[in-house]
Amino acid sequence: MMETSLQSLFQAIAQAQAESELRQSVMAQVGKYFAATRWGLSFLDEFPSIDAKTPGFVRLALSLDYNPVLRYLVERHAPVHEEVILSPGVWQTICPRADHGHVMIGPIIHDGQLVGGIAFTRHRDISAFDTQNLADLSALCLHLSTRLAALRSQPVTLPILNCDRLTPREAQIAELVAQGLTNTEIGAALWISENTVKQALKRIFRRLDVSSRTEMVAQMSGIKLPRSS
C-alpha cells in the first residue's frame, strides 16, 4: 500500500467538494499520516456551552486555565503538542486517558480569527508527536483554512425569487434555509453565530409576513401554499 505523503494530503484538501468530505475522508488520511489514535476537525461554535450540567471532564478539557495545550492554541493560533510546553509525562497527569496519552492540535483561521482546529491524539504507549509533525501540521492547517473558507463562501445555486425586501445577507440566509440547513449549519456556512441567524430569520419573517420557514421559502419561490380551513 502506498504511503500517504504530505503533497497527496494537500491535493486531497484542494479537491474536497464539501466540508463533510474534509471532516471525514480527508481527516482520516491526515490521522493516518500522523499515526494518530484519534483525530477530528471541529469549530469553536460547536463546542458545548459550559454550565452546571456539563460533565466535569468536559469542563476541564475546555478550560483554558486547566488545559495548557488548548490555551497555547487560543493565545498563539499556532500548532502545538504537549511536550512543546510541558515536561515529558506531565500531560498524563492533566489528562489520564490512555488513548489521549499524547495530543497535538492546530488552528483553523478565518479573517484573522481562530474559528476552529484539528486535533490528534496518540496512545500513551506510542511515542509523542515531534517537531516534524508540527511543521507538517502547520502546512496542513494553512491548506485546510484556505479550503474551508472557499467552500463556505461558495454561492448557493438554488434560485430564490422575491428577494427585493431583504438585505443581501438575509437573502443568503433564506437560500440556505431553502436548502434545508439548520440554524447551526447556516451559521457555520456563513461564519456567523447561530444567534445571528435566529435574529435574521425573525426580521425576514416580519418583512414577508410569514410565521414559518416553510411559508418563507414558499413565498420567496413563488409557490402558493393551500390555506388552512
Residues 6+ apart with CB under 8 A from 109: 77, 115, 141, 145
> Do 22 and 46 fall into the same domain?
yes
Instruction: Determine the Cα–Cα distance for residues 127 and 104; give it in Å rounded to an integer.
Output: 12
Give residue for cell 476552529.
Answer: 116
The DSSP secondary structure of 200-216, one letter per residue, reads HHHHHHHHHT-SSHHHH
Give the number of other CB atoms < 10 A from CB of residue 18: 10
pLDDT given at position 15: 95
pLDDT at 86: 95
Same domain, 124 and 93: yes
Characterise 185 by phi-psi region: left (phi > 0), alpha (psi -120 to 50), beta (else): alpha
Do 191 and 115 share a structural domain?
no
Residue 212 lies in a domain: yes
DSSP assignment letter at 179:
T
Which among 152, 180, 203 is the end of a domain?
Answer: 152
Whether 44 and 108 map to the same domain: the answer is yes
CATH code of residue 73: 3.30.450.40
Provide the pLDDT for residue 25. 92
- 53/86 same-domain check: yes
Q: How far is CA 175 from each of CA 52, 117, 158, 200, rounded to the nearest angstrom? A: 37, 28, 7, 13
**Domain termination site, one of 100, 125, 152:** 152
* Closest residue by Cα to residue 144 from 15, 13, 34, 2: 13
Decide if 129 is inside a domain.
yes
For residue 181, the model assigns a pLDDT of 86
Whether 24 is covered by a domain: the verdict is yes
Residue 159 lies in a domain: no
Q: Identify whether residues 99 and 51 lie together within a single domain.
A: yes
> Do 82 and 135 belong together in one domain?
yes
What the block records as the C-alpha cell of 107 is 488552528
Cell 500522523 -> residue: 34
Sign (positive or negative) of CA dihedral 83, 7, 142, 152? negative
141 lies in some domain: yes
Q: What is the CATH number of the domain that holds 185?
A: 1.10.10.10
- pTM score, whole prediction: 0.68
Query: What's the pLDDT score for residue 51?
Result: 63
Domain C-terminal end among 120, 152, 184: 152
Residue 75 inside a domain? The answer is yes
Q: At what angle do helices 213-220 and 194-208 cross, to 10 degrees?
A: 60
Q: Report the domain count for the chain.
A: 2
Residue 89: all three cell numbers together:
509525562
The pLDDT profile of the chain, 229 residues, written as one tens digit per residue, is: 346 799 999 999 999 988 888 988 999 999 999 999 999 998 877 666 666 666 666 677 778 888 999 999 999 999 999 999 999 989 999 988 899 999 999 999 988 889 999 999 999 999 999 999 999 999 999 999 999 988 877 655 545 555 667 777 788 888 888 888 888 888 877 778 888 899 999 999 988 889 998 888 888 776 555 554 4
186: domain range?
168-220
Give the pLDDT of residue 35: 96
**Do 134 and 175 share a domain, yes or no?**
no
Q: Which three cell numbers stand for residue 166?
A: 431583504
31 and 115 part of one domain: yes
> Is residue 229 included in any domain, yes or no?
no
Specify the 3-state DSSP secondary structure of 99: helix
Q: Which three cell numbers stand for residue 66?
A: 486547566
Please check whether residue 157 lies inside any domain of the structure: no
Please indicate, yes or no, whether residues 138 and 37 belong to a single structural domain of this protein.
yes
At 228 the pLDDT is 47
The per-residue pLDDT for 57 is 66
- What pLDDT, on a 0 to 100 scale, did the predictor assign at position 219? 81
Residue 184 shares a structural domain with residue 209: yes
Give the pLDDT score at 229. 43
| Rounded distance between C-alpha atoms, residue 70 and residue 74, angstroms | 6
**CB-based contacts of 192: which residues, under 8 Å, 6+ apart?**
186
